[in-house]
Amino acid sequence: MPSTAPPLACSVRACGLPLERRGASWVCERGHSFDVARSGYVSLLQPQDRRSLEAGDSRATALSRRELLDEGFGAVLESALVEVASELELAPGAFVADLGCGDGRFLAAVCAKTGLHGIGIDLSAHAVELGARRHPAHTWVVANADRRLPLVDGSLALALSIDGRRPRDEFARTLCANGALLVAVPAADDLAELRGAVLGEVHDAPRVERVAAELAPDFVLAGHTTARARIRLERASLARLAAATYRCARAREREALEQLDGLEVTTSHDVLVFRRSHG
């Protein structure tokens, strides 16, 4: 259990007051109220924050991604994240938020090792619901990470961005003075075989230097490891990968993928630790 209540903040425009859990709702002092869904998550999405009614990943996409991860597709990345996070020696019970948490697997793994309390944030209610059902001890929130994060200033010990958004100003606002930021981005050779076999596209992997430049001057790069593995994916897993990634969204690419019986693919991420710069 966290030492204090999860530091959620009201998402009503120009409010931003802390939210308090009361029964099956989160409420602020101005009386804004957000119901907790039966599966345990809360949607703090405001109408202006969603571009369509079905914002974020569909249920099918979220399920495909979870099945792929259940098969071990993200195991090497998960190990790297857990190891790096545990080396930060953060106080158990402190808060970690994952922006674009998906089904929350990586967040839950980091929390299991570090004793942190997780706050999973994703635009997809379907993805967040999967996290809430499997990991009910943590806090699960539907929100748009492109906007103001529904979190209290200075409330986080750690923030995670795994193939996700990197809103520097919001990281700076929500992390505490000695907080850390853990960023994973696909490396240049991530899914290289798949792109060669199917997509024929040039990979525009974000370079480590570019990520560091984005996050300066508030954050400085303090650590860098690479999580790389080669995994044989059979036909059914390739189909899940196609469904789980936007990179394979086009019909022509799905058809090409369906011609393959299986493929050995490289998964490769740069895992970066950023610390706040003081000075």
CB of 11 to Zn ion, least distance (A): 8
Q: Which two tokens stand for residue 262?
A: 């299986």
Region binding Zn ion by CB under 5 A among candidate stretches 16-24, 126-134, 168-176, 265-273:
16-24
Q: Which of 213, 228, 197 is nearest to 274 (CA)?
A: 213
Rounded distance between C-alpha atoms, residue 26 and residue 8, angstroms: 9
Does 27 engage in binding with Zn ion (CB under 5 A)? no
**Contact, 269 vs 186, CB < 8 A?**
yes
Is residue 12 near Zn ion by the rule CB under 5 A? yes
Among 13, 30, 38, 210, binds Zn ion (CB under 5 A): 30
Residue closer to Zn ion, measured from CB, 32 or 50: 32
> Considering the rule CB under 5 A, would residue 28 count as an interface residue with Zn ion?
yes
Residue 167 beta carbon to Zn ion: minimum distance, rounded to whole angstroms: 21
> Least distance to Zn ion from the beta carbon of 45, Å?
14
Tell the smallest beta-carbon distance from residue 270 to Zn ion (Å).
38
Question: Does residue number 25 form part of the binding site for Zn ion (CB under 5 A)?
Answer: no
Number of residues binding to Zn ion, judged by CB under 5 A: 7
Helix (H, G, I), strand (E, B) or coil at 219: strand
What is the number of the residue whose Cβ is closest to Zn ion? 10
Stretch of residues binding Zn ion (CB under 5 A), selected from 5-13, 59-67, 97-105, 113-121: 5-13
Burial class (CB in 10 A: 0-12, 13-18, 19+), 263: buried
CB of 14: closest distance to Zn ion in angstroms? 9
Q: Which stretch binds Zn ion (CB under 5 A): 13-21, 74-82, 94-102, 242-250?
A: 13-21
143 near Zn ion (CB under 5 A): no
- Output the CA–CA distances (angstroms, integers) from residue 99 to 51, 162, 202, 232, 257, in the order listed: 18, 8, 27, 29, 30
- CB-wise, 46 or 266, nearer to Zn ion? 46
Helix, strand, coil percent values for the chain (each to nearest 5): 35, 30, 40
Q: Which long-range contacts (CB under 8 A, 24 or more apart) does 146-150 make?
A: 147/49, 148/11, 148/16, 149/9, 149/97, 149/99, 149/121, 149/173, 149/174, 150/8, 150/9, 150/10, 150/11, 150/19, 150/44, 150/121
The answer to whether the bond into 92 is cis (omega within 30° of 0) is: no
* Residue list 31-60, contact with Zn ion (CB under 5 A): 32
Q: What are phi and psi of 87, to 5 degrees?
A: -70, -15
Q: Does 10 bind Zn ion (CB under 5 A)?
A: yes
Beta bridge partners of 142: 43, 122
- Binding part of the chain for Zn ion, among 23-31, 116-124, 150-158, 190-198 by CB under 5 A, reads 23-31
Q: Which stretch binds Zn ion (CB under 5 A): 6-14, 180-188, 201-209, 226-234?
A: 6-14
Q: Is 13 a binder of Zn ion (CB under 5 A)?
A: no
Q: Which residues bind Zn ion (CB under 5 A)?
A: 10, 12, 15, 17, 28, 30, 32
